Amino acid sequence: MDYNKRSSVSTVPNSAPLKVGFIGLSHQKGWAVKTHYPAILQLSSQYQITALYNPQLEVALETIKELKLANATAFPTLESFASTAIVDMIVISIQTSYHYSVILPLLEYSKSNPNLKYLFLEWAMACNLDQAEQIYKAAAARGLQTIVSLQGRKSPYILRAKELISQGHIGEINSIELTGNGGWYGYDRPMKSPNYIYEMGNGNDLVTNTFGHTIDILQYMTGSYFSKINSMVFNNIPEQDIIDDHGQKTGQKVKKSVPDHLLFQGTLMRGNVPVSCSIKGGKPTKKFTKNLVIDIHGTKGDVKLEGDAGFAEISNLVLYYSGIRANDVPVPNNNKYPTEPKNDMNMYDAGKEIMEVYHLTNYNAVLGNIFRLYESIADFHYNTKKIPSLPSQFLLQGFEFEGFPTFMDALIIHRLVDSVYQSHLLGSTLDVTNISQLPNFNS
Amino acid sequence: MDYNKRSSVSTVPNSAPLKVGFIGLSHQKGWAVKTHYPAILQLSSQYQITALYNPQLEVALETIKELKLANATAFPTLESFASTAIVDMIVISIQTSYHYSVILPLLEYSKSNPNLKYLFLEWAMACNLDQAEQIYKAAAARGLQTIVSLQGRKSPYILRAKELISQGHIGEINSIELTGNGGWYGYDRPMKSPNYIYEMGNGNDLVTNTFGHTIDILQYMTGSYFSKINSMVFNNIPEQDIIDDHGQKTGQKVKKSVPDHLLFQGTLMRGNVPVSCSIKGGKPTKKFTKNLVIDIHGTKGDVKLEGDAGFAEISNLVLYYSGIRANDVPVPNNNKYPTEPKNDMNMYDAGKEIMEVYHLTNYNAVLGNIFRLYESIADFHYNTKKIPSLPSQFLLQGFEFEGFPTFMDALIIHRLVDSVYQSHLLGSTLDVTNISQLPNFNS
C-alpha cells in the first residue's frame, strides 16, 4: 500500500493555518456541520475558520457562538465576505441549485481579496453542464486552485482498489459490472425530506448525484474515461407516497420528476473494457445482494467492492481481492512523483494465489472521505510529501493518486452526465472520447 | 407449485408410442446421445426410435447396433428417411450451420409421409434470421407441430421462478440484472474444440447461443418481451491460445471471429422494467460471484437464480426467493387451462415474510431439461393432463406454463438476436416492440 497510508499532515507545519471562509455552515443542521466542520476541527493546525457568510446574518452569528469559532467573523453580505483579506480558501456547501447564482458574483467580488487561493465546492457543481462550464471558466479566469467534493476518490477502499489495479495485480481489466440501489428516488418520500431533491433540474437527481459520484470513482479506480456509452433513464415512479417518521404511509401522494432508474453501459477507452451499470432508487432490499456492488474482473484476478448503501462516496465498504502475484507484474509509476523503494514482496510471493478482504470496521465514510480530502489539500498546500518542483496550481487531478479532484474533474463528470441524458433522449450510443479533453472556451 | 410438478406421462398411455426419426444421433459422440437418447429411453412407452438418417449410412447402422435400437431402420438418403411412413416425429440434432440445407429439402420430401406430425429442432434453428424465417415458413406450410430446444423453459428452477413471479409473490417487477460468464469464447481454446464454434456466421456465437437461450428464459419467467434494447458487442480476444488436454498452452494461436462479450440493456414491455445484462466468454473465475446470476427485483420481494456455469439452460441452478405473502396477492390464471383448487397457504401465511432456497442436489440439467421437454410433448400428444378442447396444433408457447417452445418462439429470439447485432452496428437504441408479432410473409 504505497498510496493509501496516512497523510503527512498530522504533524504541525511550520506555518500559519489556512484561513477558511465558509458559505453554508450552520450549527443547526446540514451536511457541512457533519463533515466539513469536524474535518477542519481535526486538522486545526492546518485550517482555521475565519469567516462565515449566510444570507441571514443571525444564523452565521449563532453558528460562530455555538461551534465556538473563536477566530471567525460573520459577514453581512456576499461582497464583504468575498472581498475580505482574512480568507485563503472559500468553501461552499449549499444546495446545488444555488451554486450558480452565488459563485459567479462571489468570484467577481473576490478580486478584492489578494490572499484567496482555494475554492472548494460540493459536487454537483451547479445544476447542469452549461452552468458548470461557466463556473469552471470564471474560477479559471480568477486563477484559483479549485477543489470539488468528489470525495469517493479519497475512500481508502477506492484507493486500495486503484492500487491493486494499477500495479497489475488483477492483470488487464476485461469487464466490469456495477449495481447500486440508493434509498432515495423510490416509492416513498419521508415527510421531512426536502422537495427539491425530487424535482428535475436541481442537480440532485439519480444521474447527476448518485451516478455522477459512482462513475467518477469507477473511472478513477480503472484509470480510464469512457469512449462509448448508451443509457436509458426511467421515471417509473412518477408519484411517491409520503411516509411519516415511523415509516408509515400518511396517505398523501406527491409527484416526482427525477429518474428512479438508470441503465448505463459503455466501453472504457483504455482496453475497450465493457462496463455494465444499473443504478436505481427505491427501498434497498439487502436480502440477496448488497446495495452497492462493483465487480472488476481482470485476466489475473478480481476486485469486488460492496456497500450497504448505494452511495459509494459516503459508505463504508468492503473490498475483496483475488489474484495471482506473478513475477511479471508490472508496477507502473503513473503518478510521476518518486515512490518509495519496492520491498521484496513480489519476489517472495511470485505466482502465489492471493486473496484479501479489506474492511475498516469503524470507518465513518461520511466524515472520513471529506476529512481525507482536507488532508490532501493540506498535503498540497504545505507540500508535506516533499514533492520536488510542485506546481503552485494544477488543473485537474485526473487519475493521480496524490492531489484532489478539481472543477475540471467535475466538468468531465458533468459532460458524462449530460451525455447520459442525451443518449437516452436521442436513443443513441454516443462517442464520448472527447469529454475528457480540456475545454476550449471562446471568452 | 402448481406448474412445476412431475409430468403425467409416467403412466403408460393407452396408445402406441410416437415413432421418432432421428437425424444426428450417433453412439460415438455428440449432444444427442447424451440428452435426447436417454430422455427417449426413459420415456419408452411414449417414444420409440424407428428411423435414423446419417449421410454416412454405416454410422447410422452402427448406432442402431450399439444403442440396441431394435425398432429402428437406417435410411440411406434424406429423401427415403423423410418420406417413410414409419415416422410421426422428426428430431434434428446436428450442427446449426447444416440446419438450413437439411430442413428445406426434408420438409419437401416429407410430403410423402402422411403420418408426420412433429418436427423437433435444436436451437439456434439455423444461423441467422433470414434462414430461420424460411425454415419457420416451410414448416408452417407443411402443417407440422414444431418444437425447438429452448429447453431452459423446462428447467424446474425457471418454472418455480416463473410461478413465484406470476402469482405476485414478489409484487411488481421493477428491475432485473443478469450476468453470465461462459467457458467458451475466451482466451483459451481446447485442442479438441471444433473450430466452427469460434467462427462468426455458424449460429454458435455468444449472442445467438448463450444470450439467445438466456434471454428466452428471462422473457419466459417474466412473461414479457422487450420494448426497447441497446447492445454493444465485443471481440476483444481476436486470437486464442490453443490449450492441450491438461489445460497447458501449446504455444499455438488461432483467430477467433465470434464475440467474447455482450452488453445488453433494455426495457420489458410489461411494466417498462429496466433490464441490465452482461454476458461474457472467458475462463470462469468463481471467486466472488457465480458464473450465472439473475437478480429479479420486485416491489414485494426478490428472486435470485445462480449457476456455476453461464449457460442457464444446461446448468443446475439454485433459486433464492424472498418476499411477503400478502392477503392481496393476485393469483392470475394466465394459462387458460383449469388449475387445481388453491390450498389455504395464502390465508395462513398472510403478511408473513418468506424466504426459500430451492435446489435439487443431484439434478442433471443437461439431460433433465431435455427430458422434461420430451415429457411436455408427450403430455400434449396424449393429452395426459385432460385439457378440454386441446388444439391439435399450436403456433407458439409464448409464456404458457404448459406446452413447449415452437419455431415461432425461436423466431422471436432470432429477431431479438438480430436486433442486438443491429443495435451494435447502428449505435442505436432500437424499438423492438414488434418482434413478438406473428409473421406476415408474402409467399
Which residue in the set B302, B428, B430 is minimally distant from A287, CB to CB?
B302
Which residues on chain A are in Cβ contact (under 8 Å) with B322? 285, 287-288
Q: How far is CA B353 from CA B164, B169, B294, B301, B324, in A?
A: 14, 10, 21, 9, 4
Q: Say yes or no for a CB contact (<8 Å) between A322 and B285.
A: yes
A278 to chain B: closest CA residue:
B276
Q: Which of B429, B430, B432 to mutate against chain A (most A CBs within 10 Å)?
A: B429
Q: Say yes or no for a CB contact (<8 Å) between B177 and A304.
A: no
pLDDT-derived band at B12, boundaries 50, 70, 90: low
Separation of alpha carbons A376 and A367, rounded Å: 14
pLDDT of residue A401: 96
pLDDT of residue A353: 77
pLDDT of residue A392: 93
Q: Which of the 8 DSSP states describes residue A207?
A: I
DSSP secondary structure string for all residues of B351-363: TEEEEEEE--TT-
pLDDT of residue B345: 46
pLDDT of residue A2: 54
At the topology level of CATH, where does A154-361 sit? Dihydrodipicolinate Reductase; domain 2 (3.30.360)
For residues A306 and B309, the model is more confident at: A306
Residue B23's SS3 state is strand
pLDDT of residue B372: 97
pLDDT of residue B182: 79
pLDDT of residue A285: 63
Find all residues with CB under 8 Å of B406, minimum gap 6, and list them: B145, B146, B147, B148, B394, B395, B396, B397
Q: Say yes or no for a CB contact (<8 Å) between B429 and A289.
A: no
C-alpha cell of A127? 445544476
For chain A, 443 residues long, the average pLDDT of each consecutive 10-residue run is 59 79 96 97 96 97 98 98 98 97 98 98 97 97 98 98 94 95 87 91 94 98 98 97 94 96 98 97 76 94 92 94 66 45 47 85 96 97 91 96 97 98 98 84 48
Q: Which of the 8 DSSP states describes residue B428?
A: B
Instruction: Give me the mean pLDDT over the B232-246 stretch.
Output: 96
User: C-alpha dihedral over A405, A408, A412, A417, to 10 degrees?
Assistant: 80
pLDDT of residue B14: 63
Tell me the β-bridge partners of A52.
A22, A74
Which residues on chain B are in Cβ contact (under 8 Å) with A271? 236
The answer on pLDDT for B220 being more than 70 is yes
DSSP element (H, E) containing A382: helix A365-382
Give B397-439 pLDDT, tens digit per residue: 999 999 999 999 999 999 999 999 999 999 999 999 999 887 6
Which residue in the set B177, B263, B266 is minimally distant from A274, CB to CB?
B263
pLDDT of residue A438: 73
Which residues on chain A are in Cβ contact (under 8 Å) with B295? 179, 288-289
Q: Say yes or no for a CB contact (<8 Å) between B282 and A174.
A: yes
Strand order in the sheet with B261-268: B352-358, B317-325, B301-307, B292-298, B173-181, B273-280, B261-268, B226-234, B430-431
C-alpha cell of A295? 465487480
Q: Across the A/B interface, how many CB contacts are shorter than 8 Å?
A: 132
CA angle A374, A376, A379 (to 5 degrees): 115
The answer on pLDDT for B35 being more than 50 is yes
Contacts by A337-342 with C-beta closer than 8 Å and gap 24+? A337/A385, A337/A387, A337/A402, A339/A2, A340/A2
| R_g of chain B computed on alpha carbons | 22
Instruction: Give me the mean pLDDT over the B103-118 stretch.
Output: 98
For residues A11 and B354, the model is more confident at: B354
